[in-house]
Each structure stands twice: as structure tokens, then as C-alpha cells.
Amino acid sequence: MLLTKLKTVFCVTAIAGMMLYSPAMAASRIKDIVDVEGVRTNQLVGYGIVVGLSGTGDTVRNSPMLKQSLESMMERMGVNIRDANLNTKNAAAVMVTGELTPFGASGSRIDVTVSAMGDAKSLLGGTLLVTPLLGADGEAYAVAQGTVQTGSVSAGGASGSSVTRGVPTAGRIASGGTIERETAFNFNSMSFLRLTLHNPDFATARRIADAITRQYPGTAIAENPSIVAIKPPAGMTMMDFMTLVEPMNVDVDTPAKVVIDEVNGVIVMGENVRISRVAIAQGNLTIRVDEQPGVSQPLPFSQGQTAVIPSSTVSVDEEKGKQLIQLGGGSSLSDLVAGLNALGVTPRDMIAILQSIKAAGALQADIEVM
């Protein structure tokens, strides 16, 4: 099963590597490989109360923030409950988070996430009361309210047994937030703009600048591997210029890297991975210890005691018949995949082999272990 999975992973990797050699597949749009400086989302956060829960909310005596919030809220509504004995479990103190979109206009709707703070069991079906959402500057940019949907299932029996699927103490409110204040960002008034590469690279930054200047001379320069500065031609606004720049195709260059996920046994290699001349042999050594304890039973009327006698059998098995694989200098990804598959190794062994090749100085790539 593991070998089949391994071959599938490497076949897909090999196909992807071969596809990358095609110029048509290597080219990517500029809009897909860069971010525009200043055009970003802003995180919002707020504190609120969810009510209407069916006995699954916070225990008031264990949640002082809920008690104070209920008292303050009811006082604003003209009801004094300061000295009352609150024993409700139908409310919960929550944190509400959301993201303010880059050009979100006042009145636009955004999704919000609601997460319990206390010992609430579930927020399913509860209603979030009006909650201001604050930015990093402490100003309110949106207001959230609505019915919480958790997408989870939770049930319990009278004997204490329970079953839970998903996370019932966190949920979302689709379009539950309303933008009240816009960010002050006048895109069209900018005289120049900086494009930030998702994956900084000298060659890719230079290619982006060259692709833009070929059509619009003197409008782009690569400042460093991460930044390409652009300015619109005379008589053109930044908005108009960006609509022309984003669809341009650029060949993206990537470093040679091998990414290893040891937990799941997944290995991903880029097309630029190269192998120097190296020979590889792989074999498994298995040490097995079998415990078969026996029982010593005393004779009748001997006043002896029954005892357990340990009995261990140790065996050593070494896998035979694995051939020595030799890879020539400058071997490509497909050669490496074919050679390692010929050894019939498992993903766990594959990780050890790649790390050993790197230690020998024959793997011309960086290894990133997740």
C-alpha cells in the first residue's frame, strides 16, 4: 500500500516536472505571483455576547466577563440586575474576528468568525448581539450581528456519554458584518507602486521588470528580489496601468528544493533538483522479539506458588536482493524518481535516502523538513 502510494506521488511529481519544461506551462500571469503594496486586508476583532443557546452557554459563576457584560448591557437598557443571582446557561462570551477587504466600501458585507471564550459547550443556533469590530488602531471599522452556524454535531446521553463532530464552540456568520468605515487609500493618486513577489527571486523580479518595460519603456525597475517598482506612463492612471500589467505572462524561476513531510511521509521535489554522480543501495534490517511467557504450576500439596516464566525469541531479518542504483552526474528529477522507484523503497526510507544523498554532497537542492 505504501509503495503504491509512493509511486503515485512520484509519478505525479515527475509529470509536473516534465510539464514545467514547456514554456507555455512555465509562464504565469504577473497578478498571480505578486502582491500590490498597500492593497491588503486588515484584521478586525471584537468582544460580544451570543444569546439564545439551549443550555449550552457559559456557566455564569465560571465566566466573570459574561456576568459583567450582561449587567452592563441590561443597565444600558434600563434594567438593574447587579444584585440578582444570574444562573443562566443560555448566553456565552465570545470573540468575533473578521477581515476588512482592501477596497471595502461602507455598507458592504463581510463574513465573521465567532469563538467561545468561556466554558460554553456549543454556540449552535445562538444569536450574536451587535458587536463593534476594531482595527489595530482601536477604531471601529465594522459591526457584526447574526445567527451563528457551527457546522458541527454534538450529542450526549444521561449516563455522561457524548459524541462530537467538528468544533461546536466556534462558528461563522455569513455576511454577518457590515463595513462602517473605509480605509483611506486613494489608489489612483499614487505616482508609483511597488509589486511584492510571493516567492522572492532575482531572475523572476528581473523578468517582471523586463516584461513591463518592453511594452512601456521606463515604467518598471527591479529594486531587489522581492520588489519591482512601477509607474504609469504619462497620461495614464495607476488603475488603468495595473489592468494592463496584471495579465502579462512571465516565466517564473524557482530554486531547487525538496520538501519533506515526515509526519505524513510525503515528499515533493521541484524540477530543478539535480543529482551528482552517486550510487544508492537500500536494505531493511528488522529485529523481532517474540514474548511467549509460560506458567509454572506447582504439584498438588507442595505449598508452591504459581509463577510466570518469561520466554523470549529474538530474530534478525535483513532484506536481500536489492540492487545498487547508480545515477550519473547532472541527473534530472525524472532520473532520480526512476532510480529510487527501482529500489522499491517506502516513503520513510525515501526520506532517509534523500537526507543521506544531501549529506554526501550529491543532492544539488535545499531540503526543507516540515
- What confidence tens digit (pLDDT) does each residue in 134-191 have? 999 999 999 999 999 987 766 666 665 667 778 899 999 999 999 999 887 788 888 8
Does position 6 have pLDDT exceeding 60, yes or no? no
Residue 158 lies in a domain: no
User: Distance between CA 67 and CA 96 in Å, rounded?
Assistant: 18
Query: pTM to 2 decimals?
Result: 0.67
Residue 302 lies in a domain: yes
Among the listed residues 93, 86, 18, the one whose alpha carbon sits nearest the alpha carbon of residue 271: 18
Residue 159 lies in a domain: no
State whether 72 and 175 are in the same domain.
yes
Bridge partner residues of 202 (DSSP): none
According to the per-residue pLDDT averaged within each range, which of 22-26, 145-149, 351-355 is highest? 145-149
Domain count, the chain: 4
Cell numbers standing for residue 142: 465594522
Higher pLDDT, 89 or 281: 89
User: Distance between CA 276 and CA 331 in Å, rounded?
Assistant: 7
State whether 244 and 136 are in the same domain.
no
State whether 227 and 331 are in the same domain.
no
User: Distance between CA 124 and CA 88 in Å, rounded?
Assistant: 17
State whether 209 and 131 are in the same domain.
no
Cell numbers standing for residue 219: 515604467
How high is the pLDDT of residue 17?
41
Q: Are strands 257-261 and 294-296 parallel, antiparallel or unpaired?
A: unpaired
State whether 106 and 206 are in the same domain.
no
The 10 Å Cβ neighbour count of residue 17 is 19
Query: How large is the C-alpha radius of gyration of the chain?
Result: 32
Among the listed residues 113, 67, 125, the one whose alpha carbon sits nearest the alpha carbon of residue 93: 67
State whether 271 and 365 are in the same domain.
yes
Higher pLDDT, 274 or 47: 47
Share of the chain above pLDDT 90, in %: 39
Does position 349 have pLDDT exceeding 90, yes or no? no
Alpha helices in the chain (DSSP H): 2-20, 23-26, 30-33, 64-76, 202-215, 238-245, 333-342, 347-359
State whether 171 and 204 are in the same domain.
no
According to the per-residue pLDDT averaged within each range, which of 44-53, 163-172, 247-256 is highest? 44-53
State whether 97 and 120 are in the same domain.
yes
Higher pLDDT, 331 or 30: 30
How high is the pLDDT of residue 160?
59
Residue 9 lies in a domain: yes
**What would the mean pLDDT of 334-349 be, rounded to a whole number?**
70
110-114, 116-120, 262-266: lowest mean pLDDT where? 262-266
- Taking only the tens place, the pLDDT of each residue in 217-249 is 999 999 999 999 999 999 899 999 999 999 999
**What would the mean pLDDT of 329-336 be, rounded to a whole number?**
65
State whether 121 and 225 are in the same domain.
no
State whether 199 and 235 are in the same domain.
yes
State whether 221 and 94 are in the same domain.
no
User: Distance between CA 258 and CA 355 in Å, rounded?
Assistant: 10
How high is the pLDDT of residue 263?
78
Residue 160 lies in a domain: no
95-99, 302-306, 346-350: lowest mean pLDDT where? 302-306
Residue 161 lies in a domain: no
Residue 205 lies in a domain: yes
State whether 57 and 138 are in the same domain.
yes
- Going from the C-alpha of 160 to that of each of 60, 121, 326, 343, the distances in angstroms are 22, 14, 62, 53
Cell numbers standing for residue 269: 521535489
Residue 190 lies in a domain: yes
Residue 227's domain comprises: 23-39+186-251
